[in-house]
Amino acid sequence: MGEPMEKFFDGRQILADFITSYYTDFESDLTFVAEINKQVVGYLTGCRSQKRQRMIFMNKIIPPVCLKFLFKGLIFKSKTRKFCLNCFKSVLKGEFNHPDFSRDYPASFHINIDYKFRSLGIGGELIKNYLECLHQKRIRGVHVTTISQKAKEFFRKMGFTVLYYRKISYLDHKNLFFIILGKKLQGNNTPSANADTPFRKRGMTDLTG
């Protein structure tokens, strides 16, 4: 919802590993970083095939993340314990069940922009670079998930269509929805990033060099 994750979860590094480890460790060529004056202000991490991503995620990402979670004793933190309980309740309600769109929209991505640098066109440039790469790789389509109505409208402006919309409860927000949007790529003229953009495309490994 655009707020720091500490509002509902106590382990920042654990959540970061959960969200980004697959992308940075297995498909780093589809990681894009936006900088202003050498300061990282946003990133996009993507994958070519969500089916492949799910398989690797379950076998190679989840086990070490769960071990870190238990080793650090995060289950004893009140906010984290409440969040895990709410997630379990949502599982029982079937709120995590949704249609599989990976056949027509195999690629997917995660994007985040520092709140101080939003509404400057940075997210749009990151997505344009990513879509251009997918188009060159002849990927037929891409989808993205969000729980933010504002993000939903942003993705629609980028040419995405709402594929699925369902109310959820695990974050304790009223009228919160899980939204899946998709965009078909083959046969479309995918817009390329503006050549004059101040943002540079770099692999995540370059940041540590």
Tens of pLDDT, residue by residue over 135-188, are 999 999 999 999 888 899 999 999 999 999 888 776 666 668 889 999 999 765
Residue with tokens 């891409």, as numbered in its chain: 142
98 by Cβ neighbours in 10 Å (0-12 / 13-18 / 19+) ranks as middle
Average pLDDT of the segment spanning 85-101: 83
Output the domain CATH number for residue 120: 3.40.630.30
Task: Using the Cα atoms of residue 49, residue 55, residue 59 and residue 61 in order, give the sign of their dihedral.
Answer: positive
Q: Is residue 206 part of a domain?
A: no
Q: 105 vs 47, 99, 121, 134, CA distance in Å?
A: 11, 12, 24, 11
Identify whether the C-beta of residue 102 lies closer than 8 Å to the C-beta of residue 47. no
Neighbours of 151 (CB within 10 A): 18
Average pLDDT of the segment spanning 115-120: 89
Q: Is residue 200 part of a domain?
A: no
pLDDT of residue 3: 67
Number of domains composing the chain: 1
Confidence of residue 191 (pLDDT cuts 50, 70, 90): very low
Q: Is residue 209 part of a domain?
A: no
Q: Is residue 75 part of a domain?
A: yes
Domain that holds residue 183: 5-192
pLDDT of residue 193: 40
Average pLDDT of the segment spanning 94-120: 90
Q: Is residue 97 part of a domain?
A: yes
Q: Is residue 201 part of a domain?
A: no
Q: Is residue 95 part of a domain?
A: yes
